[in-house]
Homo-oligomer: A and B are copies of this chain.
Amino acid sequence: MSVKYALLALLDFTPSYGLQLHSLMEDTLGDSWSINVGQVYSTLSRLERDKFVKRLPDSELSDEDRNMYAITPEGKKELEEWLREPLSREYRLRDVVFAKLVLSHMSGQVSPDEVLQAQRRQLLKETHELTQLRVEADSANSISWILVLESAIMHLEADMKWLDLCEHSLEKLEEVPPPVIRSRPRGRPPKGEK
């Protein structure tokens, strides 16, 4: 979903061709957003289909035989809307680690405690790695990279605190009664029921 808008923004900065967009993306968004080159082309073709970008005619091509693309007014509008619309963080409610804790309890193969400890080890490892990178970014004075790393580190800290909270609640979590299997009768429910 974001690749589409990255390409639009870059084309709004300057018309380009496929490979150039690919390297521009790495230059501006950094390694973490790097994608497969092929995806640039498939995304471009979708954007062209939707009239958000247009292929420059050969007559305007000073640049040999590369396929130059430019953003259209419709594309600008689409981009602007995306930029103005704040991102909903609701998806955080769909936390995979939470799902693992619950599902491990359901299956019984692995105890929630094991899941929790494994995740904690992982977090420690990642925090350590990112802190290292953070130091390097500081010396390199790379402001974007610093911000990306800070964000990630802050979220890792939040994760860690949350795991502590989970650990305290583990007994309670395991006491949660298993869901009732209610094989509902078919057909229209009786009047009183909802």
Contacts and interface: CB of A to CB of B under 8 A. Distances in A.
Interface of A: 2, 5-6, 8-10, 12-14, 16, 20, 24, 27-29, 32-33, 63, 76, 79-80, 82-90, 92-100, 102-104, 106-110, 114-115, 118-119, 121-123, 126, 143-144, 146-152, 154-159, 161-162, 165-166, 169, 172-173, 176, 178-181, 183
A24 to B, nearest CB: 6
Q: How many copies does the complex hold?
A: 2
Nearest to A8: B107
20 contacts: A9-B107, A10-B103, A10-B106, A12-B107, A12-B109, A16-B181, A28-B102, A28-B179, A79-B109, A80-B109, A83-B109, A84-B118, A87-B97, A87-B122, A89-B126, A90-B126, A92-B152, A143-B169, A144-B173, A150-B162
Contacts of A63: 183
A178 B28 CA distance: 8
